[in-house]
Amino acid sequence: MNDLEQARRTFRDELIESGLLVGLGGNGLYAQSADFALIVAGITRLVETTGADGGSSGLSPRRLRFPPVFPRQAFEKTDYLASFPHLTGAVSTFTGDNEEHARMLAGREAGQSWDSWLTPAETMLVPAACHPVYATLAGVLPPGGELIEVAGHCFRHEPAVDPARMQAFQMHEFVRVGSPVQAQDHRTEWIDRAEALLTSLGLDAEAVGANDPFFGRAGRLLASNQRRQNLKTELVVRLYGELDDGTAVASCNYHQDHFGTAFGITLTDGDVAHSACVGFGLERIALALLRTHGLDASAWPTSVRALLSL
């Protein structure tokens, strides 16, 4: 194990020993204590408040809260299975009769896997908070486009010791759907706004060009294109000083016409809509605060506690 992995393991153990998180068994699966959940709630409110003015869009954000699963039909319209198959969470269930049920249980009793008895359900786990929104926007956008504040639990299958790499986590986003310029402006202005928000919490956040973790050989080209076209900027915080290159706690993304084309979202003039989003990783910001200011939130700087209503 290298030094960075060791530092992550130590931090995870501290979080569990202090009671802030409770390990549920398996890597990257935790229950949040009251204290941890309070920090997350404070970050949620701060993000909501920060974005409430709608920035230069002149729009009031429309709020939507999503469940952790969404229809396969919507998932199929994205290229998620092509780009991130390894992170995907597909849902299946049992739809058989009494006899099949008895055989499934008998096989399970004999130590066999029972997944072969299951049938794909109509749902997938939500991989990013904004993914369920695009299907609801199919058709012609109102003049000026849409600004939507979304939040929900996301799932990514990447079990890890690193406490910042949870399999299930909460993301809070502002999504802009409209003209290319509107989408680009949203993404650009949120780089500064997100950095200011994080800085106000005493976090040493840095904006860096980034790419999504595309799968496999073909993914290398996609990642390189994304970087070359400057479509993704992450706000990263070094949780372990010189040891690491930084953990992304927020991300500002310009999707071009990716979702507009996939979901048939158009402007009033018939052009395909472009989209952009800023996403805040609520648990990651909480972890960055705990690394920066210490595990005892009651001893955090007064200004930080005030911003988080702690």
Encoded tokens for 95: 């739809």
Q: Give Rg (Cα) of the chain.
A: 21
Choose which of 7, 12, 169, 246 interacts with a copy of itself (CB under 8 A): 169
- In whole angstroms, how close is the CB of 118 to a copy of itself at the nearest point? 6
Site for a copy of itself in 196-215 (CB under 8 A): 215
Of 302, 252, 295, 256, nearest to 277 by C-alpha is 252
Nearer to a copy of itself, 176 or 238 (CB): 176
What residues have CB less than 8 Å from 286, skipping those under 6 apart? 36, 39, 40, 43
Specify whether the CB–CB gap between 176 and 61 falls below 8 A.
no
Interaction of residue 85 with a copy of itself, rule CB under 8 A? yes
User: Per rule CB under 8 A, is residue 105 in the interface with a copy of itself?
Assistant: yes
Least spacing, CB of residue 264 vs a copy of itself, in Å: 13
Q: How far apart are CA 129 and CA 170, in angstroms?
A: 8
128 binds a copy of itself (CB under 8 A): no
Q: If residue 263 lies in a helix (H) or strand (E), which one and from where to where?
A: helix 258-263
Contact letters (x/-) for a copy of itself, 174-193, by CB under 8 A? --------------------
32 vs 184, beta carbon nearer a copy of itself = 32
Q: What are the strands, taking DSSP E only, across 102-165?
A: 119-125, 139-140, 146-155
Q: How far is the CB of 68 from a copy of itself (least distance, A)?
A: 4
Among 142, 213, 216, 294, binds a copy of itself (CB under 8 A): 216
Binding mask 139-168 for a copy of itself (x = CB under 8 A): -----------x--x-x-x-x------xxx
Which residues fall within 8 angstroms of residue 147, CB to CB, at 6 or more apart?
54, 57, 59, 60, 61, 62, 174, 175, 176, 186
Please report whether residue 87 would count as binding a copy of itself according to CB under 8 A. yes
- Please report, as residue ranges, which positions from 44 to 73 form the binding site for a copy of itself (by CB under 8 A): 62-71, 73
Q: Do strands 205-209 and 265-266 pair parallel, antiparallel, or not at all (unpaired)? A: unpaired
Q: Rule CB under 8 A: is residue 112 a binding residue for a copy of itself? A: no
Q: Does 94 bind a copy of itself (CB under 8 A)?
A: yes
Residues 137 and 141: their CA atoms lie apart, in Å, by 7
Residue 93 in the binding site for a copy of itself (CB under 8 A): yes
